[in-house]
Structure formats: structure tokens, C-alpha cells
């Protein structure tokens, strides 16, 4: 007999229940619609009718993970858990690649009657709408609807600043990388606050265009990596289409109107336990000053915060072999921009590890603020040359 009830019928929810016995459940993750990608999970556990889970150990086994998008992400990973949906800590978690096609076992003893579990702390569409509405009403912050998604959701953009440099910040091309929108909260807290000295100086130098969530359909559906059509948006930047990738088509059209001088694409990485950057070294028209600008920014950021490093990361692409379907490469090639992909971990930033939370929403938001401080220093140094 089961003692628990498991549900994922809510914004960004994703899990399928295979069986339950007592307070133990065998689960699997639903694939992205029209896609083989799966890794994101988000569900809640309560007592079955008439039963309580308070003080009872939950044993939650997510199976079949050897076939997931990034099976190398499961070793040393710890699931996120919350009982109030405000603070997300890390649950006791173990990985066994030989059990039931690869099994992640989560153990948690709740204090109360409800517990939520997720691949990373969710950033819900309701919170997204709260963010947009709270900032769009501010003086000197302009709201623009860039377009609509395949599911009919708005693609929101906030713009601010009166400077000449055109700066684009965008996140959640891959919707399961929810730390990216937490980063956006931190960055926007700096940029939209008239009392923030860093934001004030940046707005003098730049015109910012901020897209906190490029993939609201995938976010709401509980996808890892794709939109409503099962398309990976970060492979659509060379030839986006209204049928498959209207999100990229809309934002690229807006970028063509303004031009792009500096751009950051915000992501999360499953396997590497560190915050790192990926650049555009392989684009056909690479200019020395572009690469120098990228290297200077990463050096500034590494000096400013222990939550960033340059030793771990992706292999550098060979000259002329850059994938122009990816946004960072496309923007560097198309506009001559200094563009970059910021990656945050699903695990932890091991150089400054946090045993209680691992990498967290709070650290993501702080990194957004740190990145804006680094950007101001980057512009000031450029002015002095």
C-alpha cells in the first residue's frame, strides 16, 4: 500500500510515476515534446489521502537515466528540495548507473506535509510575469513585446539606458536551465534601480535589451532543452523560422534593428562543477579586437568574484569551425560583437562549494550583479585606451 501522492501537474512540472510502495516511489522523467531530450524533473510529494509524510523518509528513485540527455551529469549531483518553495536546499542523493537503466535515488525526510523536488530551483512563469510587470512600470524602463511563441505566449523584452553601446542579455534558450532567469533577476536589480551606482553608470554608456526568458513554452511544459515544437533554439540562429523557432526569429529581427555590441547568453551546464564562459573563437571573420574584448571581460569577472573561473570549460573551437547556428557565434559573426555564453552548474561551483545549497538561485542572482559590475569595469577600461 502506498503512503504518498506524487504530482507534477503544474507549471514546469515533469515526472511520471511507475510504482509506489509505502514511502518509496519508482519514477521516470517525461521527454521533451517531439524530442528525445530529457533531464529536467519537478514534482511534489504529499501524503496519500488520510496519511502524513511528516517525519517519514521518502525514497524517490528516478530510473532510466542512462538514456537521458547528459548522463554524465548525474554522478556527484544532488537534487534540489524545498518544503516552502522559497528556500531550495539539496537532498541526500546517490547515483547508480547499473540500477534500472541508471537510477538517481533521492532521500528526504520532510518536516511538514509537503515536499517539492526539482533538477534545479524552478523559476516559474508566474514569477516571470511578476518580474516583467514590476519592472515595466518603472520610469526609464521600456517594455517591448518581441513576438509570440508557438503556444501563444509573449516573448518579453525590457530596455533601459541612453548610451550608444547596444547590449543584449538573454536567457533560457534551454528552459530547464532555470538558474539563467535567477541570474537575470540579479542583473535587472542592478540595471533598473536608479539608486544603483553601477546601473547608473552602465545606463549612461549603454542601451540594454534584456530578454529574461526566450523559451516560455518549454519552461511551462517542463522541458529540458526545447520549445513547443521540440526544437533546440540554440541551434536555430543561422536560419530561424516562424514554424519551428519563432522565438529566435523575433529576437534576431530586433537585434538587426539595434545592432549588437556586447551580448551574453545565459545557460546552465549539467556536468561541469563550475561557472565558466564559452566564446566565439571559431567564427570565420574573427577579429583580434573581438577576442581581446572577450578575454578582457572574463579576466575582469574572474578577479571580481570567486564564483567564476577560467580553468574548466568547453574545448576551444578550431579557427573557422564555429557553429553559426549557435547564438554566441552568430552574433559575433553577424555584428562583430563581443558575445559570450555564461554557464552555471546544476551541481556546485567546486572552488567555492556550498554543502547546504550547492549552486543556488541566490548565487545565480548575485552572479548577475557581479557580471554587471564587471561590464562597467570593461567599458571604463575600454574608454581609457
List 181, 247, 270, 343, catalytic entry: 343
**What does the alpha-carbon distance between residue 92 and residue 89 come to, in Å, rounded to a whole number?**
10
Q: Please count the other Cβ atoms lying within 10 Å of the Cβ belonging to residue 241.
A: 12
Report yes or no: 313 and 349 within 8 Å, Cβ to Cβ.
no
Q: Which domains does the chain have, with CATH numbers?
A: 4-118 (2.60.40.3120), 125-384 (3.40.630.10)
pLDDT of residue 274: 98
pLDDT of residue 385: 73
**What does the alpha-carbon distance between residue 139 and residue 382 come to, in Å, rounded to a whole number?**
29
pTM of the model: 0.98
* Residue in this structure with the C-alpha cell 504529499, named with its chain if needed: 46
**What does the alpha-carbon distance between residue 202 and residue 139 come to, in Å, rounded to a whole number?**
16
- Phi and psi dihedrals of 66, rounded to 5? -65, -20
The x, y and z cell numbers of residue 320, run together, are 573557422
Closest CA to 188 of 136, 231, 249, 240: 136
Q: 303 CB contacts (<8 Å, ≥6 apart)?
A: none
In order along its 385 residues, the chain shows pLDDT tens digits of 689 999 999 999 999 999 999 999 999 999 999 999 999 999 999 999 999 999 999 999 999 999 999 999 999 999 999 999 999 999 999 999 999 999 999 999 999 999 999 999 999 999 999 999 999 989 999 999 999 999 999 999 999 999 999 999 999 999 999 999 999 999 999 999 999 999 999 999 999 999 999 999 999 999 999 999 999 999 999 999 999 999 999 999 999 999 999 999 999 999 999 999 999 999 999 999 999 999 999 999 999 999 999 999 999 999 999 999 999 999 999 999 999 999 999 999 999 999 999 999 999 999 999 999 999 999 999 998 7
- List Cα–Cα distances, 268 to 101, 222, 251, 272, 342, in angstroms: 25, 16, 21, 10, 8
pLDDT of residue 97: 98
Residue 76 is a catalytic residue: no
Q: Please count the other Cβ atoms lying within 10 Å of the Cβ belonging to residue 97.
A: 13
Amino acid at each position: 500500500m502506498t503512503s504518498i501522492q506524487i504530482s507534477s501537474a503544474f507549471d514546469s512540472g515533469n515526472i511520471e510515476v511507475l510504482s509506489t510502495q509505502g514511502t518509496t516511489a519508482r519514477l521516470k522523467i517525461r521527454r521533451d515534446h517531439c524530442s528525445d531530450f530529457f533531464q529536467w524533473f519537478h514534482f511534489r510529494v504529499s501524503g496519500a489521502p488520510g496519511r502524513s509524510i511528516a517525519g517519514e523518509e521518502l525514497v524517490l528513485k528516478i530510473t532510466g537515466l542512462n538514456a537521458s540527455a547528459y548522463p554524465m551529469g548525474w554522478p556527484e549531483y544532488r537534487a534540489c528540495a524545498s518544503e516552502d518553495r522559497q528556500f531550495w536546499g539539496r537532498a541526500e542523493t546517490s547515483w547508480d548507473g547499473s540500477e534500472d537503466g541508471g537510477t538517481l535515488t533521492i532521500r528526504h525526510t520532510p518536516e511538514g506535509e509537503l515536499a517539492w523536488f526539482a533538477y534545479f530551483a524552478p523559476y516559474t512563469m508566474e514569477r516571470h510575469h511578476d518580474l516583467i510587470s514590476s519592472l515595466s512600470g518603472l520610469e526609464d524602463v521600456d517594455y517591448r513585446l518581441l513576438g509570440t511563441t508557438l503556444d501563444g505566449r509573449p516573448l518579453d523584452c525590457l530596455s533601459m539606458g541612453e548610451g550608444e553601446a547596444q547590449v543584449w542579455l538573454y536567457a533560457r534558450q534551454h528552459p530547464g536551465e532555470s538558474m539563467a532567469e535567477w541570474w537575470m533577476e540579479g542583473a535587472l536589480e542592478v540595471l533598473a534601480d536608479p539608486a544603483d551606482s553601477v546601473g547608473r553608470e552602465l545606463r549612461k554608456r549603454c542601451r540594454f535589451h534584456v530578454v529574461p526568458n526566450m523559451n516560455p513554452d518549454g519552461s511551462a511544459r517542463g522541458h529540458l532543452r526545447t520549445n513547443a515544437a521540440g526544437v533546440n533554439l540554440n541551434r536555430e540562429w543561422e536560419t530561424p523560422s516562424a514554424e519551428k523557432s519563432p522565438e529566435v526569429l523575433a529576437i534576431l529581427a530586433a537585434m538587426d534593428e539595434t545592432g549588437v555590441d556586447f551580448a551574453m547568453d545565459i545557460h546552465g551546464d549539467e556536468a561541469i562543477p563550475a561557472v565558466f564562459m564559452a566564446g566565439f573563437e571559431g567564427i570565420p571573420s574573427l577579429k583580434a579586437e573581438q577576442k581581446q574584448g572577450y578575454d578582457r571581460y572574463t579576466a575582469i569577472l574572474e578577479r571580481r568574484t570567486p564564483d567564476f573561473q577560467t580553468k574548466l570549460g568547453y574545448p576551444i573551437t578550431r579557427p573557422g569551425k564555429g557553429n553559426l547556428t549557435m547564438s554566441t557565434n552568430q552574433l559575433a559573426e553577424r555584428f562583430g560583437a563581443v558575445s559570450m555564453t555564461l554557464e552555471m552548474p546544476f551541481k556546485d561551483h567546486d572552488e567555492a562549494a556550498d554543502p547546504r545549497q550547492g549552486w543556488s538561485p541566490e548565487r545565480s542572482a548575485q552572479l548577475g550583479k557581479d557580471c554587471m559590475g564587471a561590464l562597467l569595469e570593461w567599458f571604463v577600461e575600454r574608454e581609457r585606451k
